[in-house]
Structure 1
Amino acid sequence: MRYLTRQFAIGALRRGNGIEQFLGGVEIDGEPAIRWVAISSMNRQYRISLHTVQDPDDDRVGDLPNLISLDPVDEAYVGEGRELARSKDAEEAMTLAEHLTDADPGRWVNHAVAGEEYMDYVRSRRDSAQAT
């Protein structure tokens, strides 16, 4: 099981570990892209960031922060994402992130696991294409 219970996700944040959630595919100016939201601990606060990157359509690519950003605000710091908000409370940060990005409360994962979600996403697209 890769998803964190809310209690475990809050605990991870309070221990200084990040959490994230793969949000799926989008199209940006006609180019396929993917998005994920991350919450990280920073200076006694929790930073909520949205990442929008090029979709390489490769089920061997799991290091999402190294993909090419399609968000001009993100270009100064590769992999950092666009900051949406900050909060001093871990649970409030999760609720805020869910509200701002339509993230699913039951699909949070530990930091760096969203890449596995992306690989599953690519495989499911390929399986669907082969079935038709």
Structure 2
Amino acid sequence: MRYLVEPFALGALKRGRSIEQFLGAAGTPEKPGIRWAEIWPKSEGFVLVVHEVEDIGDEGCYDLVEFPSFEREDGEEDFGRRLAVVDGALAALATAERMIGADRGRWVSQGIAGDDYRDYVRAGRPAKLLSE
């Protein structure tokens, strides 16, 4: 099972692990991109971050952190755009739903959102995710 049921997602965050979610298409037709979200547990709380990167992958290349950022022109690694910091793990999930349309049932462990990207590529890069 790829997706973390809510108690497992909350448990991962409370144990200091990050979770992530592939969000789909971004960018423009001239410069297509994708985006995904992460929730990082930090000392100041739970940090919601969104990454927007160029869509340069394929079925064999789906490590999202290797894709060039729309936000960085110097080729450096994309650390995303911090959207919010909240006190609780459950509040972080709710904030992600409210701010970016995240689906509470589609969070995965860190490093696994690329699998959803690969499915997206196989489906022909639809404008909306198949689960919507």
Name the TM-score class by shorter chain: 0.7 to 0.9
**What is the aligned partner in structure 2 of residue 100 from structure 1?**
99
Q: What does residue 64 of structure 1 align with?
A: 64
Pick closer, same or farther for the CA change 1:66–1:28 going to 2, 3 Å.
Answer: same
Counterpart of 2:121, as a letter, is V
Q: In structure 1, what is the equivalent of residue 110 of structure 2?
A: 111
**Which residue identity does 2:98 align to in structure 1?**
H
TM-score, structure 2 as length reference: 0.86
Deviation at 1:27, TM superposition (A): 2.6
Distance 1:49 1:125, change over 3 A: same
Structure 2: how far apart are the matches of 1:48 and 1:22?
13
CA distance in 2: counterparts of 1:48 and 1:58, whole angstroms: 27
For structure 2, the residue ranges without an aligned partner over 5 or more in a row are 126-132
- Percent of paired sites with the same residue: 41
Aligned length: 125
**2: CA distance, partners of 1:31 / 1:76:** 16
Q: Map Cα deviations across residues 24-78 of structure 1 (whole Å, 9 max, x no partner).
A: 1123473100000100111151110000000014111221112100125x97962
| More helix per residue | 1
Query: Is this contact kept in 1: 2:68–2:75, CA < 8 A?
Result: no
- Contact conserved, 2:38 with 2:48, CA < 8 A, in 1? yes
Matched residue type, 1:11 = G
Secondary structure of the 2:62 match is coil
Aligned-partner residue type, residue 110 of structure 1:
S
- Whole-Å separation in 1 of the counterparts to 2:60 and 2:78: 18
Take 1:77 and 1:84, find their aligned partners in 2: how far apart are those partners? 20
Amino acid in the other structure paired with 1:67: F
Cα offsets for 1:91-110 (capped at 9, x unmatched): 10111011111111111111
